[in-house]
Chains A and B, each alone.
Chain A
Amino acid sequence: MSEKFVVGYDGSDVAKRALDFAVSRAQAQGGSILIVHVLEWSPYSFLTPEEIEERHARRKEELDRAEKALMAPLKATIAAAGVPVETQIKYGHVAKTLCEVAKKEGATQMVIGRDGDGGLSSRVFGSVAGSLVQVAPVPCTIVP
């Protein structure tokens, strides 16, 4: 059975390194890549009346922008390297959403980068990499 790599991607340098890592593994082992971009979102946050009115339009804009700026260029380069690639853009809690996608799409591995800044906020609230280590449903590689 061929490998299916779920890669969490947000356009940062570490995310690019994680993606490169996953692509090279997929090339070597003959697998496919599913790039997932998660927009942080909670259905329990509080919005002003204007934000509520504009939400649907904003969401469309955000999805379009993510597709054009992040996903589209990747698809072309990775497909050119001969690796089958798909992309998904999701809203939600980053770690939780990545796990859900991995489960649903039958991924065999997850790859994400970590920024390794270890600042106060990640100590208090945890980081995506830290959460995934604990809850990932499939083997998870964290690329520094």
Chain B
Amino acid sequence: MTRLVPTVVLAVCFTMLAALSASAQSIDETINGIFASSTGWFVNLIFSNFPGTSFPWIVGWLVVAATVFTVYFGLIQFRAFGHAIALVKGDYSDPNDAGEVSHFQALATALSGTVGLGNIAGVAVAIGIGGPGATFWMILAGLLGMASKFTECTLGVKYRNEYPNGTVSGGPMYYLTKGFAERGVGGGKFLAVMFSIFCILGALGGGNMFQANQAHAQLTNVFGEYPGWITGVIFAGIVFAVIVGGLKSIARVTEKVVPFMGIIYVGTALIIILMNYDKIGWALGQIFAGAFTGLGVAGGLVGALIQGFRRAAFSNEAGVGSAAIAHSAVRTKEPITEGFVSLLEPLIDTVIVCTMTALVIIITGQLISDPNTGLYVLNEAGTAIRTVGDTSGVALTSAAFSSSIGWFKYVLALAVILFAFSTMISWSYYGLKAWTYLFGEGKGQELTFKVIFCLFVVIGAAASLGPVIDFSDAAIFAMAVVNIIGLYVLMPIVKRELNSYWSRLKSGEIKKFS
């Protein structure tokens, strides 16, 4: 019976929307117009520049935080790297805890929430606007972001709520309240509420609309143009079936297929890079030259830097706080171990997967440059670099991949849809956790959020890329504003945990089991 409900709802939605199909394009336009005008103020607030510069304060906020954590924890991302791998392999897992969530599982689930369209479409946006140099700043932001992730995930586990029935809820909401109370600092509750609001917006934006939008872009790229709301309704129907109808099987299949799609994606990128091995040196040269000179891209050096940092943060979510929700359910006696494991996330997501995308786009020569000056040629509006097929976003990545391997665009389309879907499922969970934090646990509250979530899938698929991407970034960065304040206040607690654990590890008190 419960399985019938989504099907019926889907059918009803279809009939209603099919009746309106005569004015299909105008539905897209209407949604787009309303959306752009109602979210503009929020976007402007988040992306406003430091007074007198063209540098958005939010980008500085994230990078300064990641740098502070890197220094404060003494380059933890390099120091603890080997130990993080050992933890994921299960070397330190007590065999008597078998059957509980392992470090590997927590990492894999968190990764399937972050590895997604940010890695495929987001990187293309960054390179398209900021040029190859954006890659350099993206990698740097990824490496620094490992320290932010370490901090937030340790706190996520340490201050999670464990309920009598054995379920666990964790995330910034909980460490902002409990951690602040422990340190005797006020305002924790206020920050937790702010975080929850932004987390809901982020779940609806980057975790939902951006995904639906780019999945639709990829589908039209393969099958030809058709109205966005059709993709939206189909996606919304499937998401509805999973999160409301409890069709766990779909979610489980995606969770299992997504890691393999990731491997196929990176593998194919490597093959394409090797096919063009003679250009690897040149591509790396472009990345370094672009990072410090701009090579004529929109906004120059600062433009490359902003794009790189922005897309890295959007892709790996370090400092945003979402990972703290995902990682908090792991079974461990030492919260810090989950911090170590989580620092692998930005590495895999940004330093490996995003860099692959960037290299493929650069190496296959998608960006048009002036042969005489070596500078990139901008489009008429001067907002982005001209590309071979006038593509942007996911279409640019697709064009780059299929210029070497023609049929790969079909594999990529499948990957995009699966990535989009798994990210939506993950973010529907993050959003739900924030929602129930605000409005209380309960079936009714949960259903309300889930229905809203599905509606936004349709809006996201129908709206055009510009407003969606701006709103998505803005909402996710707003989470980081609140979360990072919390991380600054609570970082001495993480330091204490780190010192205690590290000395016990060195003295041999913490032993390997295998």
Complex contact A48–B425 (CB within 8 A):
yes
| A52 with B109, Cβ < 8 A, contacts A43-B93, A43-B104 known | yes
Cα of A44 to Cα of B166 in the assembled complex, Å: 22
Having A47-B109, A48-B252, A55-B100, one finds 6 other A-B pairs with CB under 8 Å, namely A48-B109, A48-B425, A50-B251, A53-B168, A56-B331, A58-B166
Cα of A138 to Cα of B168 in the assembled complex, Å: 41
Interface centre among B165, B168, B329 (most CB of A within 10 A): B329
Complex contact B108–A46 (CB within 8 A):
yes
Q: In the complex, what residues of B have CB within 8 A of residue A50's CB?
A: 248, 251, 429
Q: In the complex, what residues of A have CB within 8 A of residue B105's CB?
A: 43-47, 52
Chain B interface residues toward A at CB < 8 A: 90, 93, 95, 98-102, 104-106, 108-109, 112-113, 165-169, 248, 251-252, 255-256, 258-259, 326, 329-331, 425-426, 429-430
Complex contact B166–A57 (CB within 8 A):
yes
Q: In the complex, what residues of B have CB within 8 A of residue A44's CB?
A: 102, 104-105
Cα of A41 to Cα of B326 in the assembled complex, Å: 21
Complex contact A46–B99 (CB within 8 A):
no
Taking the complex as formed, is A105 at the interface, i.e. its CB lies under 8 A from any CB of chain B? no
A-B contact count (CB 8 A): 85
Q: Is the interface of A mostly helix, strand, loop or mixed?
A: helix
Taking the complex as formed, is A62 at the interface, i.e. its CB lies under 8 A from any CB of chain B? yes
Whole-angstrom distance from the CB of A72 to the nearest CB of chain B?
19
Whole-angstrom distance from the CB of B17 to the nearest CB of chain A?
29
State the interface size on chain A (CB cutoff 8 A): 26
Chain A interface residues toward B at CB < 8 A: 39, 41, 43-60, 62-63, 90-92, 100
Whole-angstrom distance from the CB of B310 to the nearest CB of chain A?
26
Q: In the complex, what residues of B have CB within 8 A of residue A100's CB?
A: 95
The contact sample of 8 A-B pairs, CB cut-off 8 A, is A43-B98, A47-B101, A48-B248, A48-B255, A49-B326, A58-B166, A62-B99, A90-B98
Cα of A100 to Cα of B93 in the assembled complex, Å: 16
Cα of A92 to Cα of B99 in the assembled complex, Å: 7
Complex contact B326–A60 (CB within 8 A):
no
Whole-angstrom distance from the CB of A104 to the nearest CB of chain B?
10
| A52 with B329, Cβ < 8 A, contacts A41-B99, A57-B166 known | yes
Measured CB to CB, the nearest residue on chain A to B329 is A52
Q: In the complex, what residues of B have CB within 8 A of residue A62's CB?
A: 99
Complex contact A46–B329 (CB within 8 A):
no
Complex contact A47–B255 (CB within 8 A):
yes
Q: In the complex, what residues of B have CB within 8 A of residue A58's CB?
A: 166
Q: Out of A46, A54, A63, name the residue touching B109 (CB < 8 Å).
A: A46
Complex contact A52–B104 (CB within 8 A):
no
Complex contact A59–B109 (CB within 8 A):
no
Measured CB to CB, the nearest residue on chain A to B168 is A53
Q: In the complex, what residues of A have CB within 8 A of residue B106's CB?
A: 52
Complex contact B167–A53 (CB within 8 A):
yes
Measured CB to CB, the nearest residue on chain B to A59 is B99
Whole-angstrom distance from the CB of A91 to the nearest CB of chain B?
3
Q: Out of B98, B109, B331, name the residue touching A41 (CB < 8 Å).
A: B98
Complex contact A55–B329 (CB within 8 A):
yes
